[in-house]
Structure 1
Amino acid sequence: MKSITINGSKRESVGKKATKALRNAGQVPCVLYGGDQPVHFSAAELAFSKLVYTPNAHTVVIALGDTSYNAVLQDIQFHPVTENILHIDFYQLFDDKEIAMDIPVVLTGNSVGVRAGGVLRRNRRKLRIKALPTNLPDNIVVDISKLKIGNKVYVSELENDGFKFLHTDNTVVCQIKQSRVSVDIEDDEDEEGAEGAEGAAAEGGAEGAATTEA
């Protein structure tokens, strides 16, 4: 999985006044959990843009002077009006310890059902998995090329040796739903088939009549 580096500074004071002063200076107060003790630090709000404002999943390298920590974003709080970042919690990664994380789902291919007029419905844009840090994927790829109208893709069909899904096997990832257009297409095909059969029967009857008269 791709990683983003956040350069920050440790916080000496974690009181309300110090936190407010940090925010006024364009800094975001953060806490890193998962180690022996929580690590309090801050970083410029702009430093989090590639981590927060993206549909992709990333791990994070938190660089605090001479010390660096591997981590993942655990929780984030935004101001209800300005939508500025108020606070971020991170969780420290260890090579031998599994971590739970939401991974984006990427659909590939042109569905047979969609070409027939069906509608693609994405039930899950992200899936939560559990894996060692080295096995965390950038995304989960789902090929929908062979999906017909009414078909669904379940989590059980996406099993991977490198990680496990934290969802039930019958969780639907995506499906092709029938639409009005697809119904009309099917009705038109049925009508054309019926008209063809009637035409053939009529021609056969006419030919039989001509033969009798002769």
Structure 2
Amino acid sequence: METIALGVEPRVIRKKEAAKLRKNGIVPAVIYHKGEETVAVSVNEIALNKLVHSAESHIIDLQFPDGKTLRSFIKDVQFDPVSDRIIHTDFQLFAADEVVEMEVPVAISGDSIGVEKGGKILILRHALTIQGLPANMPDHVTIDVTNLDMGHIIHVREIPMDAYTGLSIMDEPETPVISIAPPKKDAEAETESAAG
């Protein structure tokens, strides 16, 4: 997993301060670690967007103006329900030997037989919650869809984790992750016949 540097500025929590920051393209954030005091910071919205909307997960070195660096990962992101802009972020610190849970993006490999028949691949879960040591965390979890046929679904319990040493998926086993939807015309025909 790649490590990315991200500049942060300490901030003082005041009334209406968060709204003022957002207006200037700055996102309020907090940094926390179990047993330690939470630190309020702010981060550039454009730089944060690149990380949040990346197809890969990252370790993030939070760099303060005084030269201090804290190693972290993004634990939570809040979006504005209307504009979809990031309005707040939580960064979690960790020790190298500490088991953590991270959101890791899903990637697909292979040519699905369902797609070859005209179906459309649907990623129902774009990231999985993975537990393990930070050093073992992958950029993404790759799921082979070669044998996925029309109307079939891959659930969390069906994702092989042999290639990911010491890691576990923490999502519910029955959670659907990827499916193949039938072509639109077929789906419409099924709906009409069910209605008739």
Q: If the length of structure 1 is used for normalisation, what is the TM-score?
A: 0.70
The answer to whether structure 1 residue 63 and structure 2 residue 63 are counterparts is yes
Equivalent position of 2:10 in the other structure: 10
Q: Please give the per-residue CA displacement for 1:128-178, whole angstroms capped at 9, x wherever unaligned.
A: 111211111111111112233354323223242331111233333223345
The answer to whether structure 1 residue 163 and structure 2 residue 167 are counterparts is yes
Cα separation, partners in 2 of 1:107 and 1:84, compared to 1, 3 Å: closer
The answer to whether structure 1 residue 91 and structure 2 residue 112 are counterparts is no
Equivalent position of 1:172 in the other structure: 176
**2:103 alignment partner, SS class:** strand
Q: Please give the per-residue CA displacement for 1:50-85, whole angstroms capped at 9, x wherever unaligned.
A: 112334322211011221111112233445565554
Contact 2:131-2:167 within 8 A present in 1 as well: yes
Cα separation, partners in 2 of 1:173 and 1:20, compared to 1, 3 Å: closer
Q: Which amino acid aligns with 2:179?
A: Q
Contact 2:49-2:86 within 8 A present in 1 as well: no
Contact 1:118-1:181 within 8 A present in 2 as well: no
CA RMSD of aligned residues (A): 2.9
Structure with greater Cα Rg:
1
Kindly indicate which of the two structures has a greater share of residues assigned to helix: 1
Percent identity over paired residues: 31
Q: Which amino acid aligns with 2:10?
A: K
Would you identify which runs of 4 or more consecutive aligned residues in structure 1 move more than 6 Å? none
1:187-206 alignment runs, 5 A limit: none
1:177-188 alignment runs, 5 A limit: 177-179=181-183
Q: If the length of structure 2 is used for normalisation, what is the TM-score?
A: 0.76
Stretches of structure 2 lacking an aligned partner (at least 5 in a row):
190-196
Stretches of structure 1 lacking an aligned partner (at least 5 in a row):
185-214
